[in-house]
Amino acid sequence: MSAVPHHVAIVMDGNGRWASRRFLPRIAGHRQGVESLRRCVRLCVERGIAVLTVFAFSSENWNRPAEEVSGLMELLAKALAREVPQLHADGVRLHFAGERRGLSDKVRRGLDEAERATAGNQRLVLNVCFNYGGRWDIAQAAQALAERGEPITEEALNRAMALAHVPDPDLLIRTGGEQRISNFLLWQAAYSELFFSDRLWPDFDAAALDEALACFARRERRFGQTSAQVAAALAPPPARAATAAALASQV
Ligand code: IPE
Ligand code: IPE
Ligand code: MG
């Protein structure tokens, strides 16, 4: 098993506090959050991570002041227009997960176009969870199966969920100091390793990501097995172990 996670998911939290500490409006923190995401995408490519899933706007974030909500919608539309060409050039495939019905036509068109333009890219899959909730995802998947008259099994639900195109996250990071899931990948994070960082999202730099990756590399993932079983599965096959011992005794 590789020490580098295949799929990293991040709750990008702390933009508002980043702005407040500078006596700036909250939207300035969200703007800085986009910069931090751009840096994080580049770092993930450099570290060999294949899938990055970020939480950008939750089902519950509609409850924020109207001005902040409209500011976030505008920021998404602008970020799409500005960032997609470079992301495409860098081989990033964009995918949006979440309920699109609540979004304006303009934003919806932007999401569709970004997905279409980057569909053939293979270097990194970037899933942006926008108007997303883990409960919404489970319910919409169950509803889709019910409408098709399909039995509701774990495999069928997996196939109907918003991240069906990627394996489950190996590492789930939350920035901003809170230690909660806040309705993120409730289903898919069943066996993710959790890492909580005190850094506010705009300050989440290379050193902060590397700290999370180093911590991940030290974890033992057991998936319900015992530690001894995991060690046995990781050990080299006996023949190769014997060869290695013979070689070692010659030096
Ligand atoms: C996360 O930052 C971004 C969104 C939820 C859109 P916050 O806006 O929640 O920042 P804090 O937690 O108030 O600092
Ligand atoms: C979670 O952050 C959602 C996103 C980062 C998009 P929140 O700031 O909304 O979470 P709570 O409300 O503190 O749990
Ligand atoms: Mg927050």
Domain covering 7-219, topology? Undecaprenyl pyrophosphate synthetase (3.40.1180)
What residue spans define the domains of the chain? 7-219, 225-251
Quote the pLDDT of residue 237.
78
- Whether residue 99 contacts residue 68, with contact meaning beta carbons closer than 8 Å, is answered with no
Quote the pLDDT of residue 248.
59
- Whether residue 179 contacts residue 196, with contact meaning beta carbons closer than 8 Å, is answered with yes
Find out whether the beta carbon of 129 lies less than 6 Å from any atom of ligand 2. Answer: no
Q: Residues for the chain: how many in total?
A: 251
Quote the pLDDT of residue 7.
98
**Three-class DSSP labels, 169-206:** CCEEEECCCCCCCCCCCCCCCCCCEEEECCCCHHHCCH
Neighbours of 44 (CB within 10 A): 23
Residue pLDDT, tens place only, 83-130: 999 999 999 999 999 999 999 999 999 999 999 999 999 999 999 999
Quote the pLDDT of residue 240.
56
Predicted confidence band at 202 (pLDDT cuts at 50, 70, 90)? very high
Pick the catalytic residue: 61, 121, 158, 183? 61
CA of 58 to the centre of ligand 2 (A): 7
The secondary element (H helix, E strand) that includes residue 54 is strand 51-58
Mean pLDDT estimate for the chain = 95
**% the chain with pLDDT above 70:** 94
Ligand 2 pocket test: which of 59, 129, 182 has the largest number of ligand atoms within 8 Å of its C-beta? 182
180 CA: nearest ligand 2 atom: 14
Residue 233 exposure: Cα atoms within 13 Å on the Cβ side? 11
Clarify whether 127 is annotated catalytic: no
Q: Which ligand is nearest to the CA of 128?
A: 2
pTM, 2 dp: 0.94
16 CA: nearest ligand 2 atom: 8
Ligand 2 pocket test: which of 26, 32, 61, 180 has the largest number of ligand atoms within 8 Å of its C-beta? 61
Residue 243 has pLDDT above 60, yes or no: no
Predicted confidence band at 250 (pLDDT cuts at 50, 70, 90)? low
Quote the pLDDT of residue 236.
82
Q: Which residues pair with 94 in a beta bridge?
A: 126
Cα distance between residue 25 and residue 18, in whole Å: 10
Q: Which residues of 223-240 are buried (b: 16+ CB within 10 A; e: fewer)?
A: eeeeeeeeeeeeeeeeee
Residue pLDDT, tens place only, 102-112: 999 999 999 99
Residue pLDDT, tens place only, 150-196: 999 999 999 999 999 999 999 999 999 999 999 999 999 999 999 99
Residue pLDDT, tens place only, 36-79: 999 999 999 999 999 999 999 999 999 999 999 999 999 999 99
